[in-house]
Amino acid sequence: MNRIRKSFVATFLALSSGSLAAADSYEVIELGTLGIYPTAAFSINDNGQIVGYTSKAAVDNENNFFTRAFSYQEPQIGDLGALEYSAEVTDGNKCEVVSSSRQDFSIAFANNGLDDAVGYSRRSVDRVRGGEVVTVCTCEDADGNDVNIACKDTLERAVIFDQATGNVIELPEMVAGETQSMIATGINDAGIVIGYGNFDSPDDEATTLAKRAFYYDSNTQTMTPFAPVVDEPTNEAILLDINSSNVAVGWSSSVEDNLRLQKAVMIDPLDPTKLIKLAILDDYATLANAINADGKVVGKTFKREEVYTTAYIYDINSGEAEEIGVLNNNPNSKDSEAFDINDSGVVVGTSVYSTFPTTRHAFIYENGEIKDLNDLIDCKQDGSSPIAPADWVLAEARSINNSGWITGNGIHNGEQKAFLLKPRDGVEPQVCQPFFEEEDSGDGSLPVFGFAFLAALIGFRRKR
């Protein structure tokens, strides 16, 4: 499942809790924030710990907020920290100090069963061009005079957030001496980290940065970069998830019929230094987002003849693929994507729900049936009268653990929020009632959802 592997304690708890099927309903818990701006959640492990990003006030200016990686363990949200960043350096060719909002930046995308998390943070690095360090740059100061400054670049650096020690550990470069932006996207309990970074092909005379996948063993401190399946300078490759058997999946791009297409890939089991393509459904354009312990892969694929995008499940052992479908069968708005699958085969993701405006709803999929998670939560979480609209709109379910806990992002009372869903077996969800009923109309009740509800949906912006 998505960047999560089981610990012994979590496994015992999951097995002792009975069925791992989708629940009758869910309790919704808002994760909160370290500041005033939205929180986004990406991964939950079997200990119930969630990671993502939130906002935090700068030490020197409480009105200046910056993005910061967080971990959430009910009921508290905590700061995962960031790489150290000297505030005295200049930024590129600008004669000015880098802003604190850029210095203290970090995001966590994944965590394992040992509560280690990975993602990226920013720091200043020496500017390198063509393998050579550029020591001096020229810029204009406030008076328009040319001055020489120390050349620095601000780069994203892949990191491990070691919660046991509180340290933020930077991963080495994919290619020694070539410091470029890197992002870590997954980690398993064996300490294997996967992700991607920028790479400048030595076969190309120009500086052409393209994404390349990497596989990093934190025990041996060995870094393995991966070329795309079709190894050309402008093609790209990314790894997004890794399971307990060290099988990693993602995508690789190439040009076909004058179109740059992404194809789902995995690390070749016969040659662990290469990526191989996964032939999923009509094999046109696919993304692989997650893989569980049994080798079940989920993501999205484009159906070329039907002209829509659908979530899927693919078994790397049998080669069989299953189309998940969408919540809305309107031919003009069919679109869904699966983000995660747990070891019981339960899938979560997002699907277009309505158009004009386009809105998305979180879904759960099991035993051939896709369900809207918004139909499985109470209309009002505070127990007040269940009059429409609902106080939550669950837009995307990002991750599910082996106990069926789900995390994701949505709209709560008009504001973008991250959530935790906890199963409630045997409890029916509280259904929203219409805002008013027409008396003696013969047509029954008429739901009215209100402009505030629509405005909240319009304002939601999906984060990847």
Query: What are the φ/ψ torsions at residue 373 (nearest 5 degrees)?
Result: -65, -20
Mean pLDDT, range 276-303, rounded to an integer: 94
pLDDT for the residue 146: 77
Instruction: Dump pLDDT digits (tens) for 54-108.
Output: 987 665 555 667 889 999 999 999 999 999 865 444 444 455 544 444 557 899 9
Following DSSP, what letter does each residue of 240-277 receive, concatenated? EEE-TT--EEEEEEEEETTEEEEEEEEE-TT-TTSEEE
First CA to last CA distance, the chain: 18
Distances (CA, A) of 244 to 6, 210, 317, 329: 8, 29, 15, 36
**In what helix (H) or strand (E) does residue 84 lie, and over which residues does it extend?**
none
**In what helix (H) or strand (E) does residue 160 lie, and over which residues does it extend?**
strand 152-162
330 vs 362: CA distance, rounded Å: 17
Q: Among candidates 349, 278, 371, which has minimal Cα distance to 320?
A: 278
**In what helix (H) or strand (E) does residue 227 lie, and over which residues does it extend?**
none
Bridge partners (DSSP) of residue 69 are 53
CATH architecture assignment, domain 8-459: 7 Propeller (2.130)
Distances (CA, A) of 80 to 70, 171, 246: 5, 16, 25
* Contact status, residue 411 vs residue 456, Cβ threshold 8 Å: yes
Q: Among candidates 448, 450, 354, which has minimal Cα distance to 395?
A: 354
Chain-centroid distance, C-alpha 277: 22
* pLDDT band for position 275 (cuts 50, 70, 90): very high
**Average pLDDT over all residues of the chain:** 82
33 vs 260: CA distance, rounded Å: 38
pLDDT for the residue 220: 96
Q: Which residues contact 338 (CB under 8 A, 6 or more apart)?
A: 289, 290, 298, 299, 300, 311, 312, 313, 324, 347, 348, 349, 365
Domain ranges of the chain: 8-459
Tokens of 331: 């031919």
Query: What are the φ/ψ torsions at residue 142 (nearest 5 degrees)?
Result: -65, -25
Tokens of 329: 């069968």
* Contact status, residue 434 vs residue 77, Cβ threshold 8 Å: no
Region of poorest pLDDT, from 66-80, 117-131, 214-228, 268-282: 117-131
Task: Read off the amino acid at residue 17.
Answer: S
Going by the DSSP 8-state scheme, the letter that residue 29 receives in this structure is E
68 vs 105: CA distance, rounded Å: 6
Tokens of 447: 């739901």
Q: Work out the percent of the chain whose per-residue pLDDT is above 90.
A: 56
What's the number of CA atoms in the CB half-sphere (13 Å) around residue 398?
Answer: 26
63 vs 68: CA distance, rounded Å: 15
Give SS3 for 103. Answer: helix
Determine the number of helices (DSSP H) and then strands (DSSP E) in the chain: 3, 33
Give SS3 for 64. Answer: coil
Say if strands 369-372 and 392-400 run parallel, antiparallel, or are unpaired. Answer: unpaired
3-state helix, strand, coil in the chain (%, to 5): 5, 50, 45
Bridge partners (DSSP) of residue 315 are 296
Instruction: Dump pLDDT digits (tens) for 185-242.
Output: 999 999 999 999 998 766 555 567 889 999 999 999 999 999 999 988 889 999 999 9
Highest mean pLDDT among 173-177, 224-228, 306-310, 460-464: 224-228
Of 8 and 271, the structure prediction assigns the larger pLDDT to 271
User: What predicted TM-score, i.e. pTM, was given to this entire model?
Assistant: 0.84
Peptide bond into 389 cis (omega under 30): yes
pLDDT for the residue 55: 83
Q: Among candidates 312, 314, 291, which has minimal Cα distance to 301?
A: 312
Answer yes or no: is pLDDT of 290 > 60: yes
